[in-house]
Amino acid sequence: MTRRTLLFSAAVLGAGTLAACSTAQKPGGPPTGTSRASGSGGRFGVGDYNTQEVADELRYIQKHVRPLAEKDTKRILVTGSTGGLGQLTAARLLARGHRVVAHARNDRRAADVRRDLPGLESVVTGDLANLDETRRLAARVNRLGAFDVIVHNAGEYGVANEEILNVNSLSPYLLTSLVVPPRQSLYLTSDLHLGGDLKLGELRGGGTDVTYDDSKLQVLTLAMAVARRRPGLQVNAVAPGWVPTKMGFANGPYAPDDLRAGYATQLWLAEGTDRASTGSGGFFFHREPEDDVHASVGDPREQDALLDAYARRTGVTLR
Ligand SMILES: NC(=O)c1ccc[n+]([C@@H]2O[C@H](COP(=O)([O-])OP(=O)(O)OC[C@H]3O[C@@H](n4cnc5c(N)ncnc54)[C@H](OP(=O)(O)O)[C@@H]3O)[C@@H](O)[C@H]2O)c1
């Protein structure tokens, strides 16, 4: 884990080369040389919202993955499923025969994911950078009825700290608190959480000085707090590794970890295929328990302090 952290940190510090796949472009921003009318980018948004590697993996899934028996299927919501790991997770779950609801930041990206992933049950929209939109998204999700699994996957990197805070931390908290709890929840975090701080003072005081690493520590601690507060439900967190998505290429076209392994843990947990994937309160990397964890994550006092800070910040208390 430390090796990966060092690699990612080195690339961040050495940032300068921009990826060949337009990674400097703001997700959802104007495309380079493509028409907006028919959606974003080329097939699967290569050069816009996806890398070639993600597009190749989406093709692999559509060609090779076969469905489960219907009795084994579930109803699953994946946030941030218009690109990267979220889209791969949604695509693979769909190919396995699950009923999948995708989430997009706006109507244009909803049109993109409907085109990319035929067979979705539906697509809900809401820009997680705007917390009022996140609240409306929670209401929309509740109107769709109960889910077996929600994957809190959406994330931002390399944008302003306020957006990082809202998308990576406050929105998962609000969705967790306002959506009828599913039987299982998964939260995407990162090994970079190790360099983070819970920033409770910022949260309580209305500040926005929260880095990506801080946000990933917050969401990992949130996951463990929810697992403790909701003992009848299954709640886990996943670090996917540094993989070649648009985010993974944010500082240049290099990512050392395996893309398929980057979403395999989410599928394994969502499907609950063996005993090891049916527990709660776990933090996994490539389907193995990850023990390189920040000290705050497993500390009930820190977890409660975080929940208290979230409640003060948002006016919403987790039940
Ligand atoms: N890739 C890595 O190396 C890596 C490493 C560690 C952890 N992770 C975590 O894994 C998760 C998935 O990352 P990824 O690599 O798949 O990133 P990605 O390719 O950039 O995809 C991010 C997804 O989140 C959505 N999203 C971002 N901001 C949003 C907003 N304001 N409202 C609604 N949706 C929004 C994106 O929508 P648009 O397509 O419209 O932008 C996209 O669907 C994230 O939580 C990330 O922190 C990734």
Query: pLDDT tens-digit profile of 168-187?
Result: 999 999 999 999 999 999 99
Give the mean pLDDT of 229-246. 98
Quote the pLDDT of residue 43. 85
Ligand 1: distance of its center to the CA of 69 in Å?
Answer: 30
**pLDDT at residue 141 tops 60:** yes
Ligand 1: distance of its center to the CA of 308 in Å?
Answer: 26
- In three-state secondary structure terms, 39 is coil
Give ∠ CA 309-313-315 in degrees, rounded to 5.
110
Quote the pLDDT of residue 42. 73
**pLDDT at residue 13 tops 50:** no
Residues that are catalytic: 212, 216
Torsion 23-25-31-33 (CA) sign: negative
Segment (H or E) for 80? none
- Mean pLDDT over each residue of the chain, to the nearest integer: 89
**pLDDT at residue 305 tops 90:** yes
> Where residue 41 falls among pLDDT bands split at 50, 70, 90?
low
Nearest CA to ligand 1 atom 17: 247
**pLDDT at residue 245 tops 60:** yes
Give the mean pLDDT of 273-291. 96
29 vs 205, higher pLDDT: 205
The interaxial angle of helices 300-314 and 171-178, nearest 10 deg, is 90
**pLDDT at residue 34 tops 70:** no
How many of the other CB atoms lie within 10 Å of CB of 183? 16
**Domain spans, the chain:** 2-314
For the domain with range 2-314, which CATH number is right: 3.40.50.720, 3.30.70.100, 1.20.1250.20, 3.40.50.150? Answer: 3.40.50.720
Nearest CA to ligand 1 atom 19: 84
**pLDDT at residue 29 tops 50:** no
Give the mean pLDDT of 202-228. 98
Nearest CA to ligand 1 atom 47: 155
- Half-sphere exposure at residue 2, Cβ-oriented, CA atoms within 13 angstroms: 1
Ligand 1: distance of its center to the CA of 312 in Å?
Answer: 27
Quote the pLDDT of residue 2. 37
Atom of ligand 1 nearest to the CA of 167: 31
Place of tokens 């909701």: 230
Spatial separation of the C-alpha atoms in residues 57 and 87, rounded to whole Å: 10
Laid out side by side, the sheet with 122-125 consists of 122-125, 99-104, 75-78, 149-152, 184-188, 234-239, 282-285, 288-289
How many of the other CB atoms lie within 10 Å of CB of 10? 11
> Where residue 36 falls among pLDDT bands split at 50, 70, 90?
very low
Assigned token pair, 73: 């299927």
**pLDDT at residue 20 tops 60:** no
| CB of 268 closer than 8 Å to CB of 277 | yes
> Where residue 272 falls among pLDDT bands split at 50, 70, 90?
very high
18 vs 12, higher pLDDT: 12
Quote the pLDDT of residue 40. 53
Give the mean pLDDT of 255-279. 97
What is the CB < 6 Å shell around ligand 1?
27-28, 49, 80-86, 105, 109, 127-129, 153-156, 167, 188, 190, 240, 242-243, 245-248, 255
Give the mean pLDDT of 55-69. 97
Ligand 1: distance of its center to the CA of 38 in Å?
Answer: 22
> Where residue 24 falls among pLDDT bands split at 50, 70, 90?
very low
Segment (H or E) for 110? helix 107-116
Nearest CA to ligand 1 atom 5: 242
Instruction: Name the residue of 81, 156, 163, 265 whose CB sits within 8 Å of the most ligand 1 atoms, as the mutation to test its pocket.
Output: 156
Quote the pLDDT of residue 273. 85
